[in-house]
Structure 1
Amino acid sequence: MDDQTLELLHANLAEVFGERDADARREAARRTYTADVTFTDAEGTVHGWEAVATKAGALQDGLPPGAAFAEEGPVYAGAGRAALAWRLGPADGEPLVRGIDIVTIVDGRISELLTLLVG
C-alpha cells in the first residue's frame, strides 16, 4: 500500500471529519476529495467536497466534549480502493459508534466515500 493512500484515509478521518475548526476542515476537504466527490452514509448522499465538509461540521457540532475519531484495525487497500475502520468516542471509554470508511481514489484524491456503521 502506498503512502498516498494512507495519507488520504488519515486526512478523511482526522482532518475532515475529526476537525473542529471549520476553516481547517474546509481546506483539508478541498485537498483530500475530488471536486465532484460522492459521500454516502445512512443519512443519504451528498456531492462535492464542500458538501462533505459541511456534513462533517454538522457532525462535529453534535458531538459531546472529548469525543474524537480514532483509527481501529488495519487498513485495506487495492486497485484504487481502500477501507479504514474507526471508532468515535472518548479516548479512554466505550465508543459512541464504530464504522468503516470505504473510498475510491482517482488521480490522488478521494472520489467516492461510503461510510458504514456497526449495527
Structure 2
Amino acid sequence: MRVNLLEVFGEPDADRRAAVIAEHYAEDVVWHEPDRVNHGRTEFVRRAAELLAETPDWVFRPTGPASELDDIGHLGFHYGPADGRPPGVSGMDIARTRDGVIIELYTIITGTDGRRDLSGP
C-alpha cells in the first residue's frame, strides 16, 4: 500500500512510475476513483500522470500504517502542498490483491478543503 501511494502517485519520473506499476499491478487492474473507473495498466499509467500534472507541487503523505487482511489492503492519506501547509484532500486507498499484485484499487475521498474537489458526481 505504501508502494502504491509513494512510488506510483508520488513518483515524478514517468519511467520509474511505469516500472513500479508493471511490477505491482495486474495487467487488467481496475482503479475506481470517485468520478471514474480506469481499466488496465495503460489507463492506470495515464491517469496517474494526469493527477501528478494537475498539482505538481502537491505530495501524498500516509496518515498511518497500512493494514492488510487476507487479500485486502488499506492506507489512509493526505494530499496537499509539499511545503507542509494543511492537506487539500484526505482519503484512503483500498486494494484487492491476487498472487502478490493489485487487481483492484478503490480511492475514497473523505475530505477536501475546497481547493480541489475529488469527491465525484
TM-score bracket for the superposition, by shorter chain length: 0.7 to 0.9
**In structure 2, C-alpha distance between the alignment counterparts of 1:73 and 1:19, rounded to whole Å:** 20
Preserved CA contact (<8 Å) 1:89 1:97: yes
State the AA in 1 paired with 2:19: E
Of 63, 75, 85 in structure 2, the residue corresponding to residue 72 of structure 1 is: 63
Q: CA RMSD, aligned part only?
A: 1.2
**How much does 1:90 deviate?**
2.5
Q: After the TM superposition, which residues 14-53 of structure 1 pair with which residues of structure 2 at under 5 Å, given as runs?
A: 14-53=6-45
Could you tell me the TM-score, scaled by structure 1's length? 0.87
State the AA in 2 paired with 1:80: D
**How much does 1:64 deviate?**
4.2
After superposition, the C-alpha distances for 1:46-78 in whole angstroms (9 at most, x for unaligned) are: 11122111111000001042x111110232211
Please state whether the residue corresponding to 2:87 is helix, strand or coil.
coil
User: Among the aligned pairs, what percent are the same residue?
Assistant: 35
Gaps in structure 1 of 5+ consecutive residues? 1-8
Gaps in structure 2 of 5+ consecutive residues? 112-121
Q: Which one is further off, 28-37 or 43-52?
A: 43-52
Please state whether the residue corresponding to 2:63 is helix, strand or coil.
strand
**In structure 2, C-alpha distance between the alignment counterparts of 1:10 and 1:73, rounded to whole Å:** 10
Aligned length: 110
